[in-house]
């Protein structure tokens, strides 16, 4: 049976707040996303915090630069022992190849189209193919050049899962148990993401902003089953 793992986005402003959250979720959640919010506040200490609690880290810094720069960033991430990193697939095949060539590296999860984008936002950003075709093209390029997974909305995962089955993991942010009216333009429920074939779902505010984060996480995990 297909399994969907929960990644909790630890988008807190301080290490103390992150520690408080992770303590509440210990034993329930195995994967935690450390993104630019917490990493710019606390640096590698945020990664150490998750590891000390027995968790695995998805370092979501969305690397996008020349191949040599990204290669060394991924190498440094590997030295911290993270499980996976994100990098923009639009950085191109040479950037990906440079990272794949590393002797020891984390999983390479390629960003396709941000879940805050709608068709208009994407067009204004210079992409003329539409969301579906852009995601498909980037995922294909990622697969051909060694990416381990693609980060996209569950809406695209549902369309392309069969094509990439067994070749790429699908990591899907924009998960909402209910509509929050926030900046996620292409959000779905945990159950819908599971049905779409998501291998990992990334959930932030519905858990970290909840009065009881542990209960919120438990409800999502139940929904995934």
SS3 at position 167: coil
CA distances from 184 to 49, 73, 94, 98, 136 (A): 28, 28, 31, 32, 20
**CB neighbours (10 Å) of residue 99?**
26
Give residue 109's pLDDT.
98
Mean pLDDT of the chain, nearest integer: 93
| Residues near 118 by beta carbon (within 8 Å), at least 6 away in sequence | 131, 185, 186
User: What pTM value is reported for the model?
Assistant: 0.93
Check: CB of residue 33 under 8 Å from CB of residue 9. Answer: yes
CA 144 – CA 34 distance, rounded (Å):
27
Reply yes or no on whether the pLDDT at 180 is more than 80: no
**CB neighbours (10 Å) of residue 215?**
12
Give residue 188's pLDDT.
85
- Total structural domains within the chain: 1
List the CATH number of the domain containing 52. 3.20.20.70
The band of 182, judged by pLDDT with boundaries at 50, 70 and 90, is low
Task: List, by residue number, the catalytic residues.
Answer: 62
Q: Name the residue range of residue 133's domain.
A: 5-224
């Amino acid at each position: 049976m297909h399994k969907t793992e929960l990644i909790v986005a630890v988008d807190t402003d301080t290490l103390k707040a992150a520690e408080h959250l992770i303590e509440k979720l210990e034993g329930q959640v195995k994967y935690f996303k450390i993104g630019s919010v917490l990493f710019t506040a606390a640096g590698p200490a945020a990664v150490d915090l998750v590891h000390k609690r027995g968790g695995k880290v998805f370092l979501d810094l969305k690397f996008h630069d020349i191949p040599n720069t990204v290669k060394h960033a991924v190498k440094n991430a590997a030295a911290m022992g993270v499980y996976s990193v994100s990098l923009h697939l639009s950085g191109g095949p040479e950037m990906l190849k440079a990272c794949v060539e590393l002797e020891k590296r984390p999983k390479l999860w390629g960003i396709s189209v941000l879940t805050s984008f709608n068709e208009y936002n994407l067009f204004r950003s210079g992409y003329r193919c539409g969301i579906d075709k852009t995601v498909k093209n980037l995922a294909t390029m990622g697969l051909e050049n060694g990416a381990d997974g693609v980060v996209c909305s569950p809406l695209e995962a549902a369309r392309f899962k069969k094509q990439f089955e067994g070749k790429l993991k699908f990591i899907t942010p924009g998960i909402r148990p209910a509509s929050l009216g926030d900046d996620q333009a292409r959000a779905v429920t945990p159950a819908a993401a599971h049905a779409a074939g998501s291998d990992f779902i990334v959930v932030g505010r519905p858990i970290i902003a909840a009065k009881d984060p542990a209960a919120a996480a438990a409800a999502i995990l139940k929904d995934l089953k």
